[in-house]
Structure 1
Amino acid sequence: ALDPAKMGFFGRIALAATRAKRLAALQSALANLSDIAAHLMLPAPSTGEALDLGALRSQFRLLRERQVAAGSVLAYQDALETLRKSPAFEDIARQRRELNAQIAENSSRLWKDWVNLTPSRLTAAQRKDIADYAALLQLMTGQDAQAVNREVRAKARALQASVSAMFSCWAVTSLSARGKLPFEPGHFDLVVIDEASQCDIASALPLLFRAKRAVIIGDPMQLRHISAVTGGKDSDLQYKYGLVANRSAWMYSVNSLYDLGVGVAEASQVINLRDHHRSHGDIIEFSNTAFYAGKLRVATRYTALKRPLNDQPGVVWQDVRGEAVRPSGGGAQNPPEALAIVNALEDLLVRRAYRGSVGVVTPFRAQAQLIQAHVAEHPQLSRLGENAELLVDTVHRFQGDERDVMFFSPVVSNGVAPGALSFLRSNGNLFNVAITRARGLLHVVGDRNAASACGVDYLEQFAAYVSRLGDARQSEDDAPAAPTGPAYPSVSRPERVSDWEREFYRALYAVGVRPIPQFSVEQYDLDFAIIAGSRRLNVEVDGERYHRSWTGELCLRDQLRNQRLIELGWEVKRFWVYEIRDRLPECVDAVRQWVKRAEKETR
């Protein structure tokens, strides 16, 4: 408004008359801005007689930008303060664990009460119908089923509807549903089909017909279904009945029920069951990387595992330089490897008196039969094997089964036939099933060098993986058990240590706190462990990657981890790297105060 260059003739006349007054008002306003500029760390605007209006405009723009930025900082600080006053992540994890335990306890009690109450609520007529139906069902599914009188069959069908209404849930195999369940559309509200990757589509259709909705559960990385229909015959039938254009996914010579379900369901209806509860972390981690793209979250409770030795890795490789041969019946055998398996079984069950369950799995039927024959030659081993649920068989027999200790015989060694390698190469899912049957220990007996260079990718990678496990365990044994000075000590996995962990360690040590880096608890490596009397604290330093994972997967994994550590009696404190960078004394004091309280309680 004071720039004559931007005014017309009459404007310049008016300006001349009011210039002094306007200039005084501007200078007063500029003087009032001095304090604001100082708070925003900017120089005060010039208030002299000669004002540079262009410079003032630039300065005002800068003041405005700085004001907006300051507002963002204040909003951030307010949000941060609100977050600090919120319940700690660890407290939420503890509450969640307690709620889950209460839900599990309530569910178990409700189920038991329902089971106990249901029979008492049946009328005399209902009890009679159940007894009649049970007798007729045994008759119709027995060896003489074809000879059962037509009237008897009609009576059984008549009873089906009334009997099925009395029970909320029925469990059958897909091939045994006929004659046991009413063949009516939508008779059941829901059908749940498990192990769907092994189910062919045709056999599942009668089950789907009987239900209004379906839940299909399966793992495409495990055993596939076996179809008696060839691909050529399947494609001919597709063409004959006009299904090629829009029903190609129904070709059950190649697709399982699981494959079909994934293709039909919407993306939101495909749910990944990612939490793994069966196996030791060392056992499942290879499959997690090689077959599941690292998506599994290991949540196994190690206290429930029956391990022969708790201080050994979850996977061990007994190196046996055998000789692979092709028996007359086909397949592959490795006699030295089979004998080594039997000797290892004797050591475990006879000499060490192991009391868990045991299994032996191999990709080749001939090798399984050879090991079975050797076991049968040892009466004591056979007797103890019965107590240990000893099963020696191929992978297909173990689908859906598991053992505390599994022995794996790969057979691959000097002299292995190209056909055997080709079989292994094209059936990686069999290997995945084989090694994940073990809960506490996977004991591999085979030629490690041959496996490392056999041309079967997953087997070569597995041999390297087991070697790394052994090397890591040796490094852990060599690492110091407790801090020995103010400098961050040598650890078995230095590549996992961030600069801020080292800085935090030094700061804690300086105030008398003695953190133990990379302390192992079950399958977890803690950033720091602090032990004060009977209390134990896990201190974690979370980097940017932890907070910037758009899926939240790292947070989900740590929720499982926190809950498990809390179950084991640990307390957990997590610090963001920016907290350590910006508020190091406060972070150190939080840990130091925990130590003081813990020491006071244990005196």
Structure 2
Amino acid sequence: MWPTLLGYHHEAVRRDSACAPVPLAHRGDWWVPLAETRETIVTGRGDDLEPSAALAGLFDKLRPNEEVFVGWPLLVLSDLRGQRQVAPLFMTRLEAPYTPGGHPVAADDNPYLNPAITLGGEFFAMGVIAEAESHVPPSGLLPFTDPQALAGLATRMLDALGLGPVDLDIDHLDQTPPREVGVYNALVAVRGEGGGPTAGLLEELSDLRWRDDWHRTAARWLIESAPAEDEHASTSTPLCPAPLQPLSDGQQQAAAMAATARLTAVKGPPGTGKSELVATIVADAWERGESVLVASTNNGAVNVAADRCQKIDDGLLIRTGNKSVREALPEVLEQLAERVPDPAPSPEITRRRLDIADGRRRAIIEAIAERSRLDAALAQAALDRDETAILLWGQPHPPAAVAGQYGWALRRARRLEVAPRLFPRWRLNQLRRAVAASNDAVEASDVVAWARTAHRFDELHEQYDALGPDKPDETYAELSAAGQELGAASRAVLTPKVQESLRAAAVALRQLARVRTGDRAARVAATGEALAAGARGWACTALSIRGNFPLRAGLFDLVVVDEASQCGVADLIPLAYRARRLVVIGDPNQLAPVVTLTGVQLRALAAAAGASHDQLRANGLSAADSAFAAVTTSSRKPGPPAPFLLDEHRRCHPEIAAFCNDQFYGGTLQILTDTNDFEGEPRGLTVLPVTGALQRGPNGASWVNNAEVNATVDWLTAHIETADSVGVVTPYKAQRQAIEDELARRVGHKTAATVAVGTVNTFQGDQREVMLFSPVLTDQASDRAVRWIEDNRRLINVAVSRAQRALVVVTDPDAVPGLAAPTLVALLDAASRNTDAAATTDLGHRSVPADERTRLLHSRAETALYTALRAWEVPVDLKPVEQGYELDFALHTPNGPVDIECDGIHHHDARGRQRRQDLARDAILKRAGWQVLRYPSWRCLLVPDNVANDIITATGLFR
């Protein structure tokens, strides 16, 4: 299976990464000849090109997932239809200049053979291609920095392809415009999809295909089922939670599993603390003396992880990667090598401090969990007792003579059950009279059920009373303080270990810092030596892994793949091979890997490799699947480990988060965003209404809505003083360009550059205080355009969840509801409701109309308390929304607003997670000036008048 899987993905990557030849006639649009007279960038004699208007034009025309490539020599080939196409033989990617008029630079370490030329069937027969490729060194590496050797290789390959003989003079390039089929000694720039970064990936997949040590790595568990004991890996071992804030329960459980399990999957929706979890896993690996790599196909995710770890300790995670990232690395390595350890207590003392802090926090959590358990058990027991009482007496309360006498009733009823044949009817009637049953249908079993539930309730009540009074404010303060102390104790253990390891690795780090930039083999070897010497934590992108780390089985004790839902299976395989244990963190409701191959092509590739496309899909291992799917989706038995869900959202305003929660996460997220940190307006979801027309963008590509462009820019210019905290997101590149151009026209390029404007892909992993969303579509949109938005509804999830304080939807509120795009319609509906409510109420406050209130009562306990409060004439507001948080009851008193919560059975779960979330939510409201009163549902159900009286007393309402 391993050789088959690797062969399949090698060919899929090769085909998917090919920068397709472009029509000769599309000069200036898809390709441009470069005026260089001497070749330097492909041969390795230089890193950049002279700026030119033609090259800048290619960059300006880029669509999503496209890049600009530079290559030499230039081939003009005839395709199967007789059309002449342009393609370079050797190529490398270009990075756009950072400033207008700047020099484009090479983005790859080495040039590579253009995959589009060697795919076969289009331009050359497979036998011819095989002959040409036989001239490439076995390593797959072109002779970079050896211009004559590269020119010689090109000559031999072109001869094998039947295009020779040719004269390739790298110091005297040909400026003759290409017209006919043939080879031109010219440098050319082409725009297209795919390409360079995958050259290294292809080489690693080819190398790994015939290795037999993969079963000793985490890659094994992509094919085989991980041992069942991993599903029950310990989650009680002390961690080293070094993040700057305490962990949520989901983060704690995921980090504990990652410490021992061979395979761990974590589902991390937006704003749920993925970066804190990654930092925790890295810190814990250091504490355990393990090596760890954090990788992702998303460069931003790697940067965030590195930044988070540097806030803990600058030696925790060393950031490496492509050429531009490595340019800053020598200085960092020299600083780490010269780091002088600070005086610190003995390891035994700091370890004891950590154990005590860990034990203290666990004890608080266990106490919270026990109170939650008893609350839930009492609520259930009260319901059961009352229901069985209704069977006996037609009401939930027994007669006074029977109340509390369940002991003798139980004994008499049990005797009747044990010996039913001795005067059964007479004895049953006697029992009915003894308990004053209200009907003749009562059986002995009914009396037994009531007696047992009544006894159970009293037992639980005694246990509850033994806990003492509930003091939520003190509990939350204790829990917060314990979390802070645990973090401080963790750092006290961690820092000396990092310092000691870096001191041991100082020589290796200096050697790595002084490796020549272009010497990949020396750099890879030096990195491996630094890792072995004690520099344990590293971070890089998945496509940079080959240029930095040896391809060695189990090189790292632990590899963490962040944003794994964007990472392809082929990208995952070399990472998993380098890992003993593997953690993938992703969200299948956000962006997926970009795959240009069609379903028909994928099936053909699977068949050619000797595999089944359907079986690959069933196991999450096809080229269309993500790394997250590869770990979490499998038809194998037993199946893969269920992913941990990070369920505490703390980024977006609750109205924004509620939309994503409802539409994409089935209401599983607990929204705990502290709205007190937000300043100004708008807040939550709002609509900026416009009426516009849909039209094609430049060159007939993409879509533009000029009304939305103007409305967006109007809003931006009115808030230009806060431009650096605002972003604009749209699904369409042409709309992005139109907004950028109009904004620059009005406020100038320098000011416009402070506003982040981009497509959804641009903002993945990013966030802004306020986001404007321009969906572009109107009722003029074609069915295909509307269907594309709904088929790619995850784009809306990403767009919406970038906003922290506010999301402004710029659209036509009359046109969108008629579109067959339910997700976009739902967003407009939510934003419209909030906009209408905000126009008539105080900032952040929503009231429920009186005629809708009683139907919103969620339980009998809430109904009982609401009835009691109304009887006391307490002026409560039912189910209002405050800053996006729904309250059970609100009471406005001279001393300030009061939130009254009636906690149901759902407030009990493992480790008191729900109650801890309640305490965090209450702390947010208290910061906003609210008093919060919580009552267990069993009290509200059994003694609602007493609870109402407690509320009156606590609030001083009638004083």
Aligned to 2:661: 288
1:371 aligns with 2:743: no
Shift of 1:568: 4.5
Picking from 782, 800, 817, the partner of 1:435 is: 800
Query: 1:443-462 to 2 correspondence within 5 Å?
Result: 443-462=808-827
Residue identity in the other structure for 1:102: A
Residue matched to 2:791 = 426
Name which of 622, 647, 651 aligns with 1:252.
622
**CA separation in 1, counterparts of 2:572 and 2:843?**
56
Structure 1's 266 and 390: CA in aligned 2 closer, same or farther, altered over 3 A? Answer: farther
Residue 795 (structure 2) pairs with residue 416 (structure 1): no
CA contact (8 A) 1:238 1:251 kept: no
Partner deviation per Cα, 1:214-248 (whole Å, 9 max, x = no partner): 11111111111013544334323322333328544
Q: Deviations over 1:445-469 (max 9, x none)?
A: 1212111112222122222222222
Higher relative contact order (Cα pairs below 8 Å, separated by 6+ residues): 2
Q: Does 1:91 pair with 2:471? A: yes
Unmatched 5+ stretches in structure 1 = 1-35, 43-51, 483-487
Cα 1:559–1:514 change in 2 (3 A) is farther
User: 1:431 and 1:492 mapped to 2: Cα distance?
Assistant: 30
Secondary structure of the 2:655 match is helix
Structure 1's 343 and 192: CA in aligned 2 closer, same or farther, altered over 3 A? same
Aligned 1:331-480 pairs, distance under 5 A = 331-349=702-720, 353-354=721-722, 357-379=725-747, 382-386=749-753, 389-413=754-778, 415-473=780-838, 476=841
Counterpart AA for 1:539: I
Q: 1:580 aligns with which of 927, 940, 950?
A: 940
Q: Any conservation in 2 of the 1:479–1:491 contact (CA below 8 Å)?
A: no
Q: CA deviation at 1:280?
A: 0.8
The answer to whether the 8 Å contact 2:511/2:526 transfers is: no
Query: Secondary structure of 2:541's match?
Result: coil
Superposed displacement of residue 59, structure 1: 3.6
Unaligned runs of 5+ in 2: 1-404, 413-421, 435-443
Deviations 1:75-114 (CA, angstroms, capped at 9, x unpaired): 1342242254154796368525632443245425643874
Distance in 2 between residues matched to 1:376 and 1:275, nearest whole Å: 39
Q: Say if 2:543 is the partner of 1:172.
A: no
Once residues 243 and 113 of structure 1 are traced to their aligned partners in structure 2, the CA distance between those partners, rounded to angstroms, is 50
Distance 1:450 1:96 in 2: 48
Quote how far apart the aligned CAs of 1:519 are.
Answer: 5.2
* Of 510, 520, 529, the match for 1:131: 510
Moved more, 425-434 or 396-405: 425-434
Q: Is the Cα contact below 8 Å between 2:877 and 2:889 reproduced in 1?
A: yes
Contact 2:565 2:587 in 1 (8 A): yes
Q: Is the 8 A contact 2:705 2:735 kept in 1?
A: yes
Q: Contact (CA 8 Å) 1:348, 1:354: kept in 2 or not? A: yes
Q: Is the counterpart of residue 565 in structure 1 residue 926 in structure 2? A: no
CA–CA separation in structure 2 for the residues paired with 1:291 and 1:516: 30
Contact kept, 8 Å, 2:838 with 2:846, in 1: the verdict is: no
Deviations 1:497-546 (CA, angstroms, capped at 9, x unpaired): 4786576456457768665544544322322345677686532234xxx4
List per-residue Cα deviations over 1:376-423 (Å, max 9, x = no partner).
Answer: 21336x54555xx52111111111111111111111125434443232
CA distance in 1, matches of 2:486, 2:710: 51
Distance 1:478 1:282 in 2: 13
- Partner Cα distance (1:399, 1:305) in 2: 22
Q: Which residue of 1 aligns with 2:888?
A: 527
Once the two structures are TM-superposed, the CA of residue 369 in structure 1 deviates from its matched residue by 0.6
Q: Contact 2:716–2:723 (CA<8 Å) still a contact in 1?
A: no
| Per-residue Cα deviation, 1:352-389 (whole angstroms, up to 9, x for no partner) | x3376111111111110111111221336x54555xx5
Deviates more, 1:502-511 or 1:75-84: 502-511
CA-CA distance at 1:57 after TM superposition: 4.1
Computing the radius of gyration over CA atoms, which structure comes out larger, 1 or 2? 1
Q: Contact 1:507–1:588 (CA<8 Å) still a contact in 2? A: yes
Shift in Å, 1:343: 0.8
Point out the more displaced range, 559-568 or 59-68. Answer: 59-68
Aligned residue type for 1:346: T
SS at match of 2:544: coil
Secondary structure in structure 1 of the residue aligned to 2:462: helix
Q: What is the letter of the counterpart of residue 172 of structure 1?
A: C
For 1:133, give the aligned amino acid: L
The farther-off stretch of 161-170 and 317-326 is 161-170
Instruction: Select the residue among 567, 570, 594 that pairs with 1:199.
Output: 567
1:62-73 map, 5 Å:
65=445, 68-69=448-449, 71-73=451-453
Structure 1 residues 95, 335: CA separation in 2 closer, same or farther (over 3 Å shift)?
Answer: same
**2-structure distance, mates of 1:576, 1:232:** 58
**What secondary structure does 1:448 align onto?**
coil
| Matches for 1:49-198 after TM superposition, within 5 Å | 56-59=426-429, 65=445, 68-69=448-449, 71-87=451-467, 91=471, 95=475, 98-107=478-487, 110-111=490-491, 114-115=494-495, 118-119=498-499, 122-123=502-503, 126-136=505-515, 139-140=516-517, 145=518, 148=519, 153-154=521-522, 156-158=524-526, 160-198=528-566
Which residue of structure 2 lines up, in the alignment, with residue 547 of structure 1? 905
**Offset at 1:428?**
1.0
Distance in 1 (alpha carbons) for counterparts of 2:845 and 2:923: 25
Partner Cα distance (2:913, 2:544) in 1: 41
1:157-209 C-alpha deviation (Å, 9 max, x unpaired): 15523445423321111011113223211121111111111111111111100
Question: Against the structure 1 CA distance between its residues 356 and 547, is the aligned structure 2 distance closer, same or farther, given a 3 Å change threshold?
Answer: farther
Distance 1:247 1:65, change over 3 A: closer
Compared CA separation, residues 90 and 440, structure 1 to 2 (3 A): farther
1:107-140: per-residue Cα shift (whole Å, max 9, x none)? 25643874477346644x732320210232xx34
Q: Deviations over 1:46-98 (max 9, x none)?
A: xxxxxx96753444675765763463154134224225415479636852563
Distance of 1:188 and 1:479 partners within structure 2? 49
Aligned to 1:240: 608
Q: Distance in 2 between matches of 1:478 and 1:399?
A: 30
How far apart, CA to CA, are the structure 2 residues paired with 1:161 and 1:374? 53
| Residue 649 (structure 2) aligned to one of 256, 269, 276 | 276
Q: CA deviation at 1:548?
A: 6.4
Query: 1:112 and 1:478 mapped to 2: Cα distance?
Result: 44
* CA separation of 1:73 and 1:417: change in aligned 2, threshold 3 A: closer
Question: Partner of 2:318 in structure 1?
Answer: none
* TM-score, with length taken from structure 2: 0.49
CA distance in structure 2 between the partners assigned to 1:322 and 1:453 by the alignment: 15
Aligned residue number for residue 8 of structure 1: none
Partners in 1 of 2:710 and 2:449 — Cα distance? 75
* Equivalent residue letter for 2:901: E
| Higher share in helix | 1
Cα deviation, residue 287, structure 1 = 2.0
Q: C-alpha separation between the residues in 2 aligned to 1:322 and 1:528?
A: 43
**Is 1:187–1:212's contact at 8 Å kept on the other side of the alignment?**
yes
What amino acid sits opposite 1:343 in the alignment?
D
Residue type matched to 2:507 in 1? Answer: K
**8 A contact 1:231–1:253 mirrored in 2:** no
The residue that corresponds to 1:320 in the other structure is 690
